[in-house]
């Protein structure tokens, strides 16, 4: 998405599809900006760690542009938007472009902290977490409870992804039982 021509090309490619939000990774644009395109769609981007790589963003269909309440980034790898669904309900959509296993553990842990920060900011009724996590959960080992029995392949990164999701799920369960 480095050039305006690439954005037009993407819009043309999805023209015949029924879509609402397109999540973007590897945006490769400078700075952070929100723009209404000629088509009426909203384009948001945040630069990556380097101009030649990284960056996250969204394209929001013109039919939903007026429902966008907020768009922010927690870092160059995590951005989120909040949509008003109705007078009562809102939804947060979080886009992640994770580090690869070649990055130091500190960077990976920082990215998961950025995700947590995005999830905990601006309370909404619904949250969708999506993106390119560059993670392999692998198969269950011994009597682990964090993975189901149908995993595939070998895990990478010291099981950080599974631990993160386990933390999210147990936190959400604790919140929902507090509400009962």
CA distance 49 to 53: 7
The pLDDT of 142-162, averaged and rounded, is 63
Q: Which of 127, 53, 131 is nearest to 98 (CA)?
A: 131
The domain locations on the chain are 4-134
- What's the pTM value of the predicted model, to 2 decimals? 0.78
Return the pLDDT at 27: 84
| Highest-scoring range by mean pLDDT, 44-58, 106-120, 162-176 | 106-120
Task: Please name the fold of domain 4-134.
Answer: Deoxyribonuclease I; Chain A (3.60.10)
So what's the pLDDT on residue 176? 42
> Degrees (nearest 5) of the Cα angle 134, 111, 154?
30
> Are the beta carbons of 126 and 91 closer than 8 angstroms?
yes
- What distance in Å separates the CA atoms of residue 37 and residue 134, rounded to the nearest whole number? 30
What tens digit of pLDDT does each residue of 105-117 get? 788 888 889 998 9
76, 47 contact by CB (below 8 A)? yes
pLDDT confidence of residue 136: 67
Predicted confidence at residue 175, as pLDDT, reads: 46
């Amino acid at each position: 998405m480095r050039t305006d021509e690439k954005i037009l090309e993407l819009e043309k490619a999805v023209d015949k599809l029924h879509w609402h939000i397109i999540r973007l990774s590897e945006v490769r644009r400078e700075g952070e900006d929100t723009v209404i395109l000629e088509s009426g769609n909203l384009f948001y981007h945040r630069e990556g760690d380097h101009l030649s790589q990284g960056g996250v963003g969204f394209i929001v269909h013109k039919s939903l542009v007026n429902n966008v309440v907020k768009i922010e980034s927690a870092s160059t790898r995590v951005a989120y938007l909040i949509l008003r669904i109705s007078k009562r309900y809102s939804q947060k959509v979080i886009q992640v472009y994770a580090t690869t296993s070649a990055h130091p553990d500190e960077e990976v842990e920082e990215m998961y902290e950025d995700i947590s920060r995005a999830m905990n900011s601006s309370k909404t009724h619904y949250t969708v977490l999506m993106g390119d996590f560059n993670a392999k959960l692998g198969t269950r080992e011994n009597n682990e409870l964090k993975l189901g029995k149908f995993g595939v392949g070998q895990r990478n990164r010291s099981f950080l992804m599974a631990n993160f999701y386990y933390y999210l799920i147990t936190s959400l369960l604790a919140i929902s039982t507090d509400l009962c």
